[in-house]
Structure 1
Amino acid sequence: MSIIICPGIHESALTESFISGLLNGSIDQYQADILVFPGKDFLSLSALHILEFLRDRLKNPLESPLIFISFSAGVVGAIGAAHLWQLLGGRVKAFIAIDGWGVLLQGNFPIHRMSHDYFTHWSSSLLGCGQYNFYAEPAVDHMSIWRSPETVQGWGIDSSIGIFPPKGYLSAAAFLRMLLEHYEAN
């Protein structure tokens, strides 16, 4: 299983901080399986550039199931790349969109949304969300959830019943690790 990180349009130091915050726990074994799309400027929006990156970097491209973790503008390119990957015969184990506000998320793979506040969570879920999602509470600024996922606290919620009851208060990094461990086991 490979984890594909598709950042938004920002400095690469923020993505390095995100990975450090994510790995600062029980999933150090995933570090070797993480690929970071090096998109600069508007390449993060390009599904074709992300797909080309995957085909170049993966040894047995279609044999490796992928988990996409995308942020902000990177959600746009990543969701398109996930669909293209499947059209080519590849497998998407899960798609995690962090603050992909305004991006339509649909697919025949598990989708999870993470948001920096409740309003972004609620309004984004109108455009598709998965069964288990996360929003920060107290709310944080947009970049904080990417820069420091280990410090952002919030609710992991089950959206499948439509009432959005809280399921657990945890950090964004703990939520992500929980998802990764779940998909590693299944």
Structure 2
Amino acid sequence: MSLIICPGIHEPTLTESFLAELKVKNQQKPGNILIFPIQDYPAYSSGHILHFMCENHSLSSPIAMISFSAGVVGAIGAAWGWQLLGGKVTAFIALDGWGVPLTGSFPIHRLSHDYFTHWSSALLGSGEDSFYAAPSVEHLELWRQPQTVVGYSIDKSEQKRRTTAAQFLTMLLDRYKT
């Protein structure tokens, strides 16, 4: 299984910081993490993301996706396209995908930088377990330093648990064995 990272519109160093803070690179085999090159293509382009996935990953191997901000727009369409081509999406994780409808026949999780974004995004598809920062943080902080973003994880039964965004993401990655 591979992890597909779909950043937003920001400096690529923020994505490196995100991965380092999650320690994802240490847990994955080389080549099992694919970072969509936002310096070459629009972060919000489903077609470009899907093409990148097809060129760099086999349809026979499942994927999990983590996307941020404008990258959520492109990533959800690419996830649908991947499935239409016969691929399997084991999990879709959206960080601050405000205003993006999230539905699919795969597990979907949302993380938000504040309660308002969490609440209003859930109107367009809440998915499964989710997280919101409390107190709220700046939008880019959720991506840059998830280990410092404290808030609440909420499960399907609406039970809240105090945690960090990084701990919540690590729990999801462990659940889906990425």
Please give the alpha-carbon distance, in whole angstroms, between the structure 1 residues aligned to 2:172 and 2:116.
23
Q: What aligned pairs does 1:44-55 form with structure 2 within 5 A after superposition?
A: 44-55=43-54
Please give the alpha-carbon distance, in whole angstroms, between the structure 1 residues aligned to 2:120 and 2:29.
33
For the residue of structure 2 that corresponds to 1:83, the secondary structure is: helix
Number of equivalences:
177
Confirm or deny: 8 A CA contact 2:41 2:48 kept in the other structure. Answer: no
Please give the alpha-carbon distance, in whole angstroms, between the structure 2 residues aligned to 1:62 and 1:131.
25
Task: Note the C-alpha offset of 1:30.
Answer: 1.9
Q: What aligned pairs does 1:25-174 form with structure 2 within 5 A after superposition?
A: 28-30=26-28, 32=30, 33-40=32-39, 43-58=42-57, 61-158=58-155, 160-161=156-157, 164-166=158-160, 168-174=161-167
Please give the alpha-carbon distance, in whole angstroms, between the structure 2 residues aligned to 1:50 and 1:63.
18
41-50 or 90-99: which moved more? Answer: 41-50
Aligned residues: CA RMSD: 1.6
Percentage of matched positions with identical amino acids: 58
- Deviation string 1:141-167 (CA, Å, 9 cap, x unpaired) is 100000001111111102x34xx331x
Compute the TM-score of the two structures, normalised by the length of structure 2: 0.94
Confirm or deny: 8 A CA contact 2:36 2:49 kept in the other structure. Answer: yes
- Deviation string 1:9-54 (CA, Å, 9 cap, x unpaired) is 0100111111111117xx7222632110012386111111011111
Confirm or deny: 8 A CA contact 1:9 1:41 kept in the other structure. Answer: no
- Residue 87 of structure 1 aligns with an amino acid whose one-letter code is L
The residue that corresponds to 1:13 in the other structure is 13
- Residue 48 of structure 1 aligns with an amino acid whose one-letter code is G
Compute the TM-score of the two structures, normalised by the length of structure 1: 0.90
Structure 1 unaligned blocks of 5 or more: none
Please give the alpha-carbon distance, in whole angstroms, between the structure 2 residues aligned to 1:100 and 1:77.
10
Please give the alpha-carbon distance, in whole angstroms, between the structure 1 residues aligned to 2:112 and 2:67.
12
Confirm or deny: 8 A CA contact 1:92 1:109 kept in the other structure. Answer: yes
Please give the alpha-carbon distance, in whole angstroms, between the structure 1 residues aligned to 2:28 and 2:168.
15
The residue that corresponds to 2:172 in the other structure is 179
Confirm or deny: 8 A CA contact 1:105 1:111 kept in the other structure. Answer: yes
- Residue 10 of structure 2 aligns with an amino acid whose one-letter code is H
